[in-house]
Structure 1
Amino acid sequence: MILENIFDAMRERRSTKNYDPNKEISANELVEILELAGLAPSAWNLQQWHFLTFHNKEAQQKLLPVAYNQQQILDASAVIAVLGDLEAYKNADPVFDPSIDKGEMTQELKEVLVKQIDGAYSREPYARDAAFSNASLAAMQLMLAAKGKGWDTCPIGGFNPQKLMEEFDVSDRYIPIMLITIGKPAAEARKTERLDIKSIITWAK
C-alpha cells in the first residue's frame, strides 16, 4: 500500500523481520527510495553518507554471516548498508560549485563555509560524530521513503562492521552505521508501545 501522507508513513512504519523471499524490488524503485533518502539534511549539506546496496541473493548470501546469520538478510528484497563518510569535507566543491554556477551562492560565501568545514574536520572526533549523526538522518529518511512506497524495513545494528568492510572491500573513508532490510512482510510486524511523550520531554527554563 502506497502512503502519500508522511504522517501515515510515520505511524504505519514497523520494524519488519519476516519477509516474503519471493517478492522482488526493481533497481529503479530502489534508486527512487535512495534518492529520497539522499534529500535528508546534513551539516553544510556535505551529505555524509554512502549506500552499499545488496540487490541479489548471491550478495545477500555473502552478507548473511556478516550479519550473524539473521534470516531477514536473505529473505529481504534488498539490503542497504548505510555508511558514514569520514572525509565528507571533500564533497565541498561538488556540493557548492553548482550553486555558484547558478548564481545561488557567491564564491565568498563558499570560502567562509569551507573555512568552517576545515576547522570542524581538524578536530579528531568530529569526522566520526558527523558521519554517524548525518548518515543516521539519511537512514531514517530511507525507511520513511520505503514505507511511503509500500515497502517495509528494519534497521539492524547487529552485524560485524569490520567484516563488512573486509568482505566487500569498503574504503576506510567510510564507517558502517547500520544495515536496513527492505521487503514485503511475510507476516504483520509486531506492534510496539511507545513511552508517554510527557515522560521524555523537559521544558527548558
Structure 2
Amino acid sequence: MAMTQIKNGVDFFEVIRERHSVRTYDPSYKMSRDELKELLDDAVKAPSSSNLQPWRFLVIDDQAVKEKLKPIAFNQKQVTEASAIIAILGDREAYKRAETIYGRGVELGYMPADVAEAMTERSVQAYGGMGAERQKDVALVDGGLVAMQLMLAAKAKGLDTVPMGGFDANRLMEAFNVPETYVPVMLVAVGKAAEPGRPTPRLSVDEVTQWNSF
C-alpha cells in the first residue's frame, strides 16, 4: 500500500496512542528516496522560532554508511536494521536565511513586502546578536519540535521510529563533515518494526502539572 494511501483517514489520537519507540526493524524493508522526502516534507511543517526553520537533515540510507555510523551510535542495532537513520541537526545561523524565508511569504501573499523586510532586519539583529550557546538552545528546541512531528508523521504512514540520543556528537560531525555551525539534536531511526514497540508507563497529568504557580 502506498504511503499516501496509508495516510488517508488515520485518526490523530490513535497515532499518538499507538506510537512507541521501536528498536528492532525488518532489514529487508527499504524506503525509497521519494518516501523519505515525503516524510520530511510533513515534518518541516512544524513550528519554529520566528519561522526560521533551523532544522537540517542528514539522511543515511546506504547500508555501508549505516555501518560507518553504527559505532558512532554506540553499536545500537537499529542503526543498520532500519530503512534509514535521519540525523536531525540545528543550524545556529539559521537567521541568515531570514530574507529568503520571509521573501517567500511575500511571493505567496502571506505578508506585505515591508513587513517581510522589517522581520528580516529584526531576526538578523536578534538571532545574529545572540551568543553561540543561546543560538544552540534555540536550535535544540526547534530540532525537538521537528523530530516529534517526523515521528508522528511516520506512524501515520504505517512506519515506526525511535529517537536516539545515544551517539557521539563530535564523532558524528567529524565523520560526516557536518558544518561547525550545526548542532546535532538526535538521530531518528525509521522503518518497519520486526517486533512491536513496548508500551511504557507515563506519569499522570496531576503528577506533572501545577496550576498558575508552584
Structure 2 length-normalised TM: 0.91
What is aligned with 2:31?
25
Cα distance per residue 1:151-187 (max 9 Å; x no partner): 1000000000111111011111211100000111111
Which residue of structure 2 aligns with residue 179 of structure 1?
Answer: 187
Q: Residue 123 in 1 paired to residue 130 in 2? A: yes
Tell me the distance in 2 between the aligned counterparts of 1:73 and 1:58: 11
SS state at 1:204 partner: coil
- Alpha-carbon distance in structure 1 between the residues aligned to 2:128 and 2:211: 33
Partner of residue 54, structure 2: 48
CA shift, 1:136, in A, is 0.8
In 1, the alpha carbon distance for the partners of 2:78 and 2:108 equals 45
Instruction: Determine the C-alpha separation between the residues in 2 that align with 1:84 and 1:127.
Output: 9
Gaps of 5+ in 1: none
- Map of 1:35 onto structure 2: 41
Q: Which amino acid aligns with 1:128?
A: K
Q: How does 1:127-166 map to 2 (within 5 A)?
A: 127-166=135-174
Cα deviations by residue, 1:50-85 (Å, 9 ceiling, x for unpaired): 010011211111111110111110001110000011
Poorly superposed stretches of 4+, deviation over 4 Å: none
Q: In structure 1, what is the Cα distance between the partners aligned to 2:146 and 2:193?
A: 23
Is contact 2:15-2:155 (8 Å) kept? yes
SS for the counterpart of 1:58 is: helix
Q: Which runs of 5+ in 2 are unaligned?
A: none
Tell me the amino acid that sits aligned with residue 208 of structure 2: I
- Which residue identity does 1:163 align to in structure 2? R
Q: Output one character per residue of 1:83-128: Cα deviation in whole Å (capped at 9) or x when no partner.
A: 0111000111211112223443223212332233222331213211
Residue pairs, 1:55-74, within 5 angstroms: 55-74=61-80
The one-letter code sitting in structure 2 at the alignment partner of 1:122 is G
Q: How many residues are treated as equivalent by the alignment?
A: 205
Counterpart for residue 170 of structure 1: 178
Q: Which amino acid aligns with 1:187?
A: E
- Match of 1:179, SS state, is strand
Q: Separation in 2 of the partners of 1:143 and 1:33? A: 9
SS at match of 1:79: strand
Aligned to 2:19: 13
